[in-house]
């Protein structure tokens, strides 16, 4: 068995080392631009370049070392539909995402962001607390990661709301779905958490029109993809005060350019795409188990539905 391996960061050796523990029979071909590759059975990739498409079209399956698959789906049918694209299911990312979002929510609820600014100014001034019952958390996207975030927030007693493309149910969560449910979901969400997959339907979903439906003084947290948010709209609504603040982990261009206006807006908290890092050992173990199933002709979970985009 031969596996074609590509990492956008070039750090392939640690992945090979872990694969030798969980799939010792595998041999590896490291993809390099301009160099011919030997035929491979499977590909394990993250953010592959377009030049890699001829090799990707020839494998039995492509494993994406992350939850989001937009970097592969952008190639369309250049990757034949008979070649399944398989994403990671959690692999340690869900708990990290829950930590990040829970911290961000509590930071706004307890007004720690404002206290941080006061402390830098040498100001001692207790602020009125937010009303918990009025601090509804709305999570856009109720997949594995979105549900884990809602579970993590449940013990704090906030009203919880979730929106998904199709109808879903979750205990303790007021659920909405489809375009007909989006308006009601937004109008009642004091904190909007974006955890959607990036598809043509969700690109720019968080734009001026939809953000204006949020209650005045709402907060935005984005841990999905930068293209979900219309950046100029968010900046304008923060300056107007309709959006009180935002915590952003993802951006249209990464690293975020030094001249980007987000850097100069103190009410925007920026982190460098670290809300849920891929845990290599857990990911390799999951991929190895799925490869073994495929070799036996058994079905595997988490095959991407290309029509839905995730």
Sheet strand arrangement including 218-222: 174-177, 160-164, 137-140, 191-194, 218-222, 243-248, 268-270
pLDDT of residue 43: 98
For 133-155, what is each residue's pLDDT tens digit? 999 999 999 999 999 999 999 99
pLDDT of residue 53: 95
Q: Nearest CA to 1 among 43, 32, 47?
A: 43
Residue entry with tokens 């975020």: 256
Selecting among 7, 190, 225, 228, the annotated active-site residue is 225
pLDDT of residue 141: 97
Q: Give the residue-averaged pLDDT of 270-279.
A: 95
Please indicate whether residue 120 is annotated as part of the active site: no
Tokens linked to 128: 């009125």
Q: Give the residue-averaged pLDDT of 297-302.
A: 96
Lowest mean pLDDT among 3-12, 119-128, 218-227: 3-12
pLDDT of residue 75: 95
What's the pTM value of the predicted model, to 2 decimals? Answer: 0.92
Selecting among 208, 242, 273, 292, the annotated active-site residue is 273
**Cα separation, 220 vs 214, whole angstroms:** 10
For 66-113, what is each residue's pLDDT tens digit? 878 999 999 999 999 999 999 998 878 999 999 999 999 999 999 999
The answer on pLDDT for 56 being more than 90 is yes
Tokens linked to 300: 């595997």
Euclidean distance between the first and final Cα of the chain, in Å? Answer: 27
Measure Cα distances from 124 to 127, 129, 130, 136, 309 in Å: 10, 15, 19, 28, 50
pLDDT of residue 67: 77
The full DSSP string for 55-97 is HHTTSSEEEESSS--HHHHTTGGGS-TTS-EEE---TTHHHHH
The full DSSP string for 176-244 is EEHHHHHHHHHHT-SEEEE-PPP-TTTTT-BSHHHHTTSPTTEEEEE-S-GGGB-HHHHHHHHHHTSEE
**Cα separation, 42 vs 59, whole angstroms:** 5
Please indicate whether residue 273 is annotated as part of the active site: yes
Q: Give the residue-averaged pLDDT of 166-177.
A: 97
Q: Nearest CA to 143 among 208, 89, 216?
A: 89
The answer on pLDDT for 171 being more than 90 is yes
**Cα separation, 255 vs 108, whole angstroms:** 25
Q: What percent of the chain has pLDDT over 70?
A: 100
């Amino acid at each position: 068995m031969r596996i074609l391996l590509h990492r956008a960061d070039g750090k392939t050796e640690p992945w090979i080392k872990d694969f030798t523990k969980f799939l010792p029979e595998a041999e590896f071909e490291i993809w390099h631009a301009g160099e011919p590759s030997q035929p491979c059975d499977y590909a394990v990739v993250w953010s592959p370049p377009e030049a890699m498409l001829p090799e990707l079209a020839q494998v039995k399956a492509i494993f994406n070392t992350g939850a989001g698959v937009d970097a592969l789906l952008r190639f369309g049918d250049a990757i034949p539909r008979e070649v399944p694209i398989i994403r990671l299911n959690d692999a340690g990312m869900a708990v990290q995402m829950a930590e990040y979002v829970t911290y961000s929510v509590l930071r706004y609820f307890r007004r720690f962001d404002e206290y941080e600014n006061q402390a830098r100014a040498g100001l001692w001034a207790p602020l009125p607390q937010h009303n918990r019952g009025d601090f509804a958390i709305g999570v856009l996207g109720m997949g594995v990661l979105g549900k884990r975030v809602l579970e993590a927030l449940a013990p704090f007693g906030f009203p919880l709301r979730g929106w998904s493309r199709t109808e879903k149910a979750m205990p303790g969560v007021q659920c909405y779905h489809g375009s007909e449910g989006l308006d009601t979901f937004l109008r009642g969400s004091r904190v909007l958490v974006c955890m959607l997959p990036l598809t043509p339907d969700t690109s720019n979903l968080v734009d001026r029109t939809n953000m204006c439906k949020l209650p005045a003084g709402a907060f935005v947290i984005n841990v999905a993809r930068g293209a979900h948010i219309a950046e100029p709209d968010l900046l304008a609504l923060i300056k107007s005060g309709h959006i009180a603040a935002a915590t952003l982990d993802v951006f249209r261009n990464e690293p975020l350019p030094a001249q980007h206006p987000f850097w100069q807006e103190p009410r925007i908290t920026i982190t460098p795409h670290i809300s849920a890092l891929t845990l290599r050992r857990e990911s390799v173990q999951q991929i190895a188990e799925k490869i073994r199933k495929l070799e036996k002709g058994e079905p595997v979970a988490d095959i991407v539905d290309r029509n839905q985009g995730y």
